Amino acid sequence: MSTHTDSPASLATTLRVLAHLLDYPDAALRAHLPAMRAALRAQRTLSEQRLTEIDALFGQLLDADGLHAEASYVDLFDRGRGTALHLFEHVHGDSRDRGPAMIDLIRTYEEAGLYLSSHELPDHLTVVLEYASTQPPAAAADFLREIAHILRNVFSALTRRESAYASVLAALLELAGEPTKLVEVPAEPALDETWREPAAFGGCSSEGQRSAGAVQPVHIVRPSRQPLPVQPGQQGQFVQSAHGAST
C-alpha cells in the first residue's frame, strides 16, 4: 500500500525541491542538498522507487567536485535541444511565436502575484515548477499534465544520455499521474556540427561577375577620384573635385 500523500503543503515542498534539483548546481545549492533530500523524504509525496532514483542524483551531486558538477550541468542542459529545460524550446523553437508565449506566461505568473527577477526566463522548468508549487494540488497536477508531453520528451532524452537527472522528470510525471514510458526523440547533431559557422558564400552562384572565371575586384573603401589635369588657360574651368563635382 502506497504511503505517499498529495496534501497542499507536502506537494508544494516536493515541487520546490524538484525545482531546485534542476537548477544550476553552484556551491550554494550543493550546500543545501542534504536538507533538500531530508525534506523530500519527509513529505511522502513520491513513491519509494522515485525517491530511491532521486537519491542516486543526490549522491552524485554530493560526491562530485563542484566545478565538474557545474560543467556537467551546462553540457547536459545548455548544449542540446532535446534536454533543454526551457519548455518553449520544445514547443516553438526559434519561431516568432516564442516571444508572445513568454509574455502570456509572465502575465499568468503576475496574475498569481508572482514576479520574475530580471535574469529569469518564464519558461524555464525550475520557474514553472515554482509557480505550480503555489497552486492547489488538483490545479498543480492539471498543470503538470498539460506539459506532460514535454516532460516525457526531456525524460527520454535524459535517459538516453544515462543521466541521473532523468529521475526528477520521472517524479514529475508521477505527480501528474502520467506514465514514465520512453518516447522516440530525434537524434541531435554533434556539438561541433551544431556550432559550426556556415561558409560566408556557401551556395552562392557566380552570377553578377564580369565574366565566367574572371577576377571580381573587391573594394572595402571606395577609392577617391584624382583631379583632372588642367590645361593652360583653363584655370578655374571644369576642375574635377575629389567627389566628381565640377566647379
Per-domain residue ranges for the chain?
8-193
pLDDT band at 119 (very low <50, low <70, confident <90, very high): confident
DSSP SS3 for 25: coil
Residues 6 or more apart in contact with residue 73 via CB below 8 angstroms: 24, 25
177-185 average pLDDT score: 91
Sign of the CA dihedral running 90, 121, 107, 146: positive
- Statement: residue 213 has pLDDT above 70: no
- Residue 62: partners with Cβ closer than 8 Å, 6 or more residues away: 30, 33, 34
Instruction: Summarize the confidence of residues 34-53 as an average pLDDT.
Output: 96
Q: Answer yes or no: is pLDDT of 220 > 50.
A: no
For the chain, give the mean pLDDT: 80
8-193 folds as TorD-like (1.10.3480)
Q: Between 208 and 153, name the one with better pLDDT.
A: 153
Rounded mean pLDDT of 40-56?
Answer: 96
Q: Name the band, by pLDDT with cuts 50, 70 and 90, for residue 79.
A: confident
Cell numbers that stand for 115 in this block = 514576479
Q: Which of 224, 181, 12, 112 is nearest to 122 (CA)?
A: 112
Q: Residue 101 — pLDDT band, cuts 50, 70, 90?
A: confident
Is residue 170 pLDDT above 80, yes or no? yes
Give the model's pLDDT for residue 88.
87
Average pLDDT over residues 56-82: 94
pLDDT for 237 equals 37
Q: How many CB atoms lie within 10 A of CB 153?
A: 21
- Percent of the chain at pLDDT > 90 equals 60
117 has a pLDDT exceeding 90: no
Q: What does the pLDDT average to over 28-51?
A: 96
- pTM beyond 0.75: the answer is no
- Alpha-carbon distance of 80 to 185, in angstroms, equals 12
- Model confidence at 4, in pLDDT bands (50, 70, 90)? low
